[in-house]
């Protein structure tokens, strides 16, 4: 058949996908073509608009390098990342909820034990925080020797990966035999997602803000349990409603308490006053719902 028009073209493009061997690939491509064509028809896409779209996607690709991932950012601000998390990570009752990975995770962070000081080598100071808790199974039993990959932005709202230099405010913290972990860091502050690229331009055009509420990131892993990629947000943060990447869940909001007791500060090796977050993570057994593919410690630095 030749001479396709807006009513017959979609069917023909889909028909040509039937030769593809991989059934899942065929399914994905068929749906993508159908939805893309339907979009063009619905808005009666003009050639100028279509070319603007191509220019935008080209700019997104050109902004990417081995440290900057503008496509992940685009997926995040369109809510697609959280949609994929929601579809693939149905939380088992009692388990810590998952949320976006974001573009600033890095493999190869330094390994630490109980009481680790993630402020080591920090180029900027913040409010000193002692974070501690237990990694538990959904039934409340402590899980021995879990590993927590922790990362967060510096006091200026910029991640170490966004600038030249060493890793900062990140580490792989090993919990002890009783599932207990603890580390020193700085209290996270709200920050802007990167807006110096095409995605920033897109956000500005929508009239929305580009802020994320304060949070630390954690990937918690233990043999026999589903790995969870999550955040702990800061209670009272002004951006909890309206996170630019839709990642907030009420169950992930933690209370950071001000501690003025000098004896407690001394016992923990903290300055006085300091801030404390007590936070347990709960993992579902591996045999439960289909888990996310695990991020392995042995993977090369991205
Ligand atoms: C982050 O939390 O690091 C992040 C997540 C999505 C987009 C930008 C940053
Ligand atoms: Fe973040």
Q: Which ligand places an atom closest to the C-alpha of 192?
A: 1
The rounded Å distance from CA 153 to ligand 2 centre is 6
DSSP track, 220-255: EE-TTB--EEEEEEETT-TTSTT-TT----GGGEEP
Task: Check the CA dihedral 248-139-281-268 and report its sign.
Answer: positive
What is the longest distance spanned by two Cα atoms in the chain? 83
φ/ψ bin of 83: left (φ > 0), alpha (ψ from -120 to 50), beta (otherwise): alpha
Q: What is the pLDDT of residues 209-229, one digit of tens each?
A: 999 999 999 999 999 999 999
Q: Measure 102 CA to ligand 1 centroid, in angstroms.
A: 4
Contact 231 CB / ligand 1 (< 6 Å): no
Distance CA 36, CA 43 (A): 11
Q: Helices (H) and strands (E) in the chain — how many of each? A: 7, 14
Distance 98 CA to ligand 1 centre (A): 14
d(CA 239, CA 212): 6
Give residue 113 CA to ligand 2 midpoint distance, Å: 23
pLDDT tens-digit map of 254-277: 999 999 999 999 999 999 999 999
Residue with the smallest CA separation from ligand 1 atom 6 is 102
* Alpha-carbon dihedral 216, 75, 98, 178, rounded to 10 degrees: -50
**CB 135 less than 6 A from any atom of ligand 1:** no
Q: Collect the ranges in the chain with pLDDT lower than 50.
A: 297-302
Residue with tokens 């998390």: 85
What does residue 288 show for φ and ψ, rounded to 5 degrees?
-75, -135
Q: Show the tokens assigned to 118.
A: 């993630």
Mean pLDDT of all residues belonging to the chain: 93
21: Cα within 13 Å, side-chain hemisphere: 0
Burial category of 71 from C-beta neighbours within 10 Å (exposed 0-12, middle 13-18, buried 19 and up): middle
Q: Is 190 in the pocket of ligand 1 (CB under 6 A)?
A: no
């Amino acid at each position: 058949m030749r001479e396709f028009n807006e009513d017959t073209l979609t069917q023909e493009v889909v028909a040509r996908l039937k030769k593809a061997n991989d059934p899942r690939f065929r399914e994905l491509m068929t749906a993508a073509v159908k939805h893309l064509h339907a979009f063009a028809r619905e808005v009666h896409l003009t050639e100028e608009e279509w070319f603007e779209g191509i220019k935008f996607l080209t700019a997104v690709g050109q902004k990417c390098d081995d440290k900057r991932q503008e496509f992940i950012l685009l997926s995040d601000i369109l809510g697609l990342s959280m949609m994929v998390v929601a579809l693939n990570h149905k939380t088992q009752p009692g388990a810590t909820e998952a949320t976006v990975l974001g573009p600033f995770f890095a493999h190869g962070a330094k390994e630490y034990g109980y009481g680790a000081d993630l402020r080591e080598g920090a180029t900027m100071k913040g409010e000193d925080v002692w974070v501690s808790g237990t990694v538990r199974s959904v039934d409340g039993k402590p899980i021995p020797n879990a590993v927590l990959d922790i990362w967060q932005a510096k006091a200026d709202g910029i991640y170490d990966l966004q600038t030249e230099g060493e890793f900062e405010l990140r580490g792989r913290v090993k919990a002890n035999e009783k599932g207990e972990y603890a580390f020193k860091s700085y209290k996270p502050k709200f920050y802007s997602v990167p807006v110096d690229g095409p995605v920033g331009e897109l956000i500005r055009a929508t009239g929305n803000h580009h802020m994320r509420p304060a949070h630390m990131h954690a990937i918690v892993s233990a043999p026999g349990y589903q790995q969870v990629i999550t955040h702990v947000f800061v209670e009272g943060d002004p951006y909890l409603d309206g996170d630019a990447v839709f990642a907030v869940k009420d169950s992930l909001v933690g209370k950071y308490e001000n501690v003025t007791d000098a004896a407690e500060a001394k016992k923990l090796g903290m300055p006085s006053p300091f801030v404390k977050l007590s936070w347990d993570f709960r993992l579902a057994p591996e045999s439960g719902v289909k888990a996310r593919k695990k991020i392995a410690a042995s993977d090369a630095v991205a």
